[in-house]
Structure 1
Amino acid sequence: MTYHALAFFDLDGTLLDQDSTITPEIRQAMAQLKENGVLPIIATGRTEIEITAIKRDAGINSNIVMNGAFIRLDGKQVYEEIIDQTLCARFLGVAHSQGQEVSFYNEKEIWASGTTPDLAKAYALIHSDVPEIAPLKYQTEKVNMLLVLGQDGDARYLDEFPELTFYRNGKYSIDTVLNGTSKGAAVRRLLDMPEFKGLTTYGFGDGSNDFALLEACDHKIAMGNALPALKEVATFVTKKNTEGGIVHALKHFDLI
């Protein structure tokens, strides 16, 4: 199918409801988008194994995950970035010196270096299972993203790891990727593909890792529950995710 536009959707606080699920209204809207020549693409800090049911329920087969570290288009992997083992080891050492643990991500699995109270709290916020504990698994498996499990110490990570980018999207964790990696960078990579050059883009988000997403898109839509600063850079502020905000915005732009 030939598309005339791309629509990028954050998940938590955006496409998902308060229970981190896809409502029937959202599923219908995504189907209408595709019928109208608009390709819906998930753009999230989560990885693929966390969103299998979400993709199925939404009828979406393309995604930017781990804040842009991995891209799949129509079921086919088109891009990924890998954090090398030496950097992972150094990062884990700093985390441990602060009494914190780290989760390691690739598109197929998640594992953590150890158990802390913040581990359970971080995953409970997004209604996800706690990952397996495997302290040395990063030495044999590829890593696309790290997740700091802690409520403080952000400044030290920023000082000691200029080669990394940090997104604190919740009280208990910090998404960590290679410097320059973002949802927005992933959008630009897709727009460099011949089949997508010149297409109109729509970005939907609510959190700190959505600034780059909105910046990269022609139409920047912030949810009614978004950070105030994100609303300031948006070209349109829709209703909250729990109040039909996605459908409201799609109708506003005559996409459905």
Structure 2
Amino acid sequence: MTYQALAFFDLDGTLLDGQSKITPEITKAMHQLKQNNVLPIIATGRTEVEIQQIRQAAGITSNIVMNGAFIRIDGEEVYNEKITTDVSQRMIAATEKNNHALSFYNHGAYWATKHDDNTIRAYAHIHSHLPEINPNGYQTEDVNMLLVLSQEGDAYYHEQFPELTFYRNGPFSIDIVNKGTSKGSAVSHLKQLMDVENIPTFGFGDGNNDFALLEACDNKIAMGNAIDGLKDIADFVTKKNTDGGIVHALKHFDLI
């Protein structure tokens, strides 16, 4: 299929409402995009197993997940970047030293070293199920992303793991991927893989891990509820995610 444009959407605070749900208005807008030959693509720090219902509700079959570590286009896996077993082992030791839990992610599952109060808060915050406890799962399963469940200690992890990139996207956890991996790097990979270097791209976001996404897109859209820095680099600041911001922006750019 020949696409006229690509539209990349963060989830929490962007495509989703205040209860982390897809509204009927968003579902309608995504169908209109596809009718207009614009490919809607979810771009999130979450993994696929956490967004299956969201994808189905929105009618979206393409996604960048785990902050750029895994890409699926029109239902087909096209990119899969892994974290080494050695890094996972070292991160377990570091989190144990700081009495933090650690979660492991691949495109089909996620699991953790333990459950504690902060872990429960972290997954409740994004309306996701608690991970199963499986401290040794990284030895037999692929790992694309790690999650330190903590409210502090960022500087320690940054210093101990210079080969990794860290995204604190909420008060209870830090997303961790390989150095240089981001939603923005995934946009570049995707365009090369699809051979669509010359069609316009639109990026929609609200948080820290959306800087690279917006910077990689031709048209940068920040939500009305976005952090100030993201608004500063945006071409257009739309309404809040809870006030029809996505539909407002899509109409502004004549995408629907």
TM-score by length of 1: 0.99
Measure, in 1, the Cα distance between the counterparts of 2:85 and 2:192. 30
Aligned twin of 1:210: 210
Q: How large is the Cα RMSD of the aligned pairs?
A: 0.7
Measure, in 2, the Cα distance between the counterparts of 1:32 and 1:239. 20
Measure, in 1, the Cα distance between the counterparts of 2:207 and 2:78. 25
Identity across matched positions, percent: 64
Aligned twin of 1:96: 96
Aligned twin of 1:224: 224
Q: Which residue identity is paired with 1:41?
A: I
Measure, in 2, the Cα distance between the counterparts of 1:193 and 1:145. 22
Shift of 1:194: 4.8
Measure, in 2, the Cα distance between the counterparts of 1:159 and 1:97. 15
Shift of 1:193: 2.7
**Deviations 1:177-198, CA, capped at 9 Å, x for gaps:** 0000000000011111354121
Q: Taking structure 1 as reference, are residues 29 and 161 closer, same or farther at Cα in structure 2, changes over 3 Å only?
A: same
Aligned twin of 2:183: 183
Partner SS, residue 193 of structure 1? helix
Stretches (4+) displaced over 3 A? none
Measure, in 1, the Cα distance between the counterparts of 2:65 and 2:194. 22
Partner SS, residue 146 of structure 1? strand
Q: Which residue identity is paired with 1:152?
A: E
TM-score by length of 2: 0.99
User: What are the ranges of 5 or more consecutive residues in structure 1 without an aligned counterpart?
Assistant: none
Equivalenced residue count is 256
Measure, in 2, the Cα distance between the counterparts of 1:193 and 1:172. 35
Matches within 5 A, 1:232-251: 232-251=232-251
* 8 Å CA contact 1:9, 1:42 repeated in 2: yes
Measure, in 1, the Cα distance between the counterparts of 2:53 and 2:196. 27
Q: Which residue identity is paired with 1:80?
A: N
User: What are the ranges of 5 or more consecutive residues in structure 2 without an aligned counterpart?
Assistant: none
Measure, in 2, the Cα distance between the counterparts of 1:243 and 1:215. 25
Aligned twin of 1:125: 125
* 8 Å CA contact 1:191, 1:199 repeated in 2: no
Measure, in 2, the Cα distance between the counterparts of 1:193 and 1:163. 25
Aligned twin of 1:80: 80
* 8 Å CA contact 1:7, 1:202 repeated in 2: yes
